[in-house]
Amino acid sequence: LLCDNGRMIILLSNDDGIQSEGLTALEKSLARLGDIYTVAPDRAQSSMSHALTLHRPLRVHELGPQRMAVELFRKGLTLTTGDAPLGRSLRHKLGTALFLSGDVRGAMEQFLETVRLAPPDGLDESTAKAKYSLGVLTASIGRGEQAIAHFQAAVTHQPTYVEARLGLADALRRD
């Protein structure tokens, strides 16, 4: 804690990751006391205090707008049912915000939940976007067959989805 003309500057850090519930709760509880600055890894890094970063250098990412987006999308989800079109749209957008803030696992969970809540008739924009996002993520980690399946499903859920068709073409070309 540092004082700067009566308003505290508070630095928070942990090894549980930037999206950890404890860190988020601490930020909220201290917000009224001053300006909060949080420095934390993008995912849990317990027991890493003696680790060396010889081949993977540390990088800093500012997460201000994405973190606020995550909170707002979560709040929006409390105001609608998850299987309604708005709920599925908010869930996909939450997944995107989580991905942009570094929480890939949380993003995958939201995309998969969006797909799970899809209407049975097959046509749905939010489901198509979630499947496209899953395709992008699985392609980025070298799972070509899974990526192809996700892109194909995205096109099935929204046949005019150009990005999904391009993603499918690229995944097929690479496989």
Count Cα neighbours of 29 within 13 Å in the Cβ-side half-sphere: 7
| pLDDT value, residue 109 | 95
H-helix or E-strand containing 148?
Answer: helix 144-157
| pLDDT value, residue 1 | 46
> DSSP code of 59?
-
How confident is the model over 35-51, as pLDDT tens digits?
Answer: 777 777 777 767 665 56
Instruction: Name the residue among 39, 82, 46, 84 with its Cα closest to residue 62.
Output: 39
d(CA 147, CA 142): 9
Helices 85-100 and 125-140 sit at what angle, rounded to 10 degrees?
A: 20
Helices 162-174 and 125-140 sit at what angle, rounded to 10 degrees?
A: 30
| pLDDT value, residue 65 | 67
| pLDDT value, residue 111 | 96
Residue 56, phi then psi, degrees to nearest 5: -125, 95
Residue 142, helix vs strand vs coil: coil
Given a contact cutoff of 8 angstroms between Cβ atoms, the answer to whether 18 and 102 are in contact is yes
Mean pLDDT by 10 residues, the chain (175 residues): 62 78 84 79 67 62 71 86 87 89 88 92 90 94 94 94 94 89
For the chain, the straight-line distance linking the first and the last C-alpha, in angstroms and rounded, comes to 53
Read off the tokens for 131: 């499947």
Instruction: Name the residue among 153, 26, 75 with its Cα closest to residue 10.
Output: 26
Count of beta carbons in the 10 Å neighbourhood of residue 32? 6
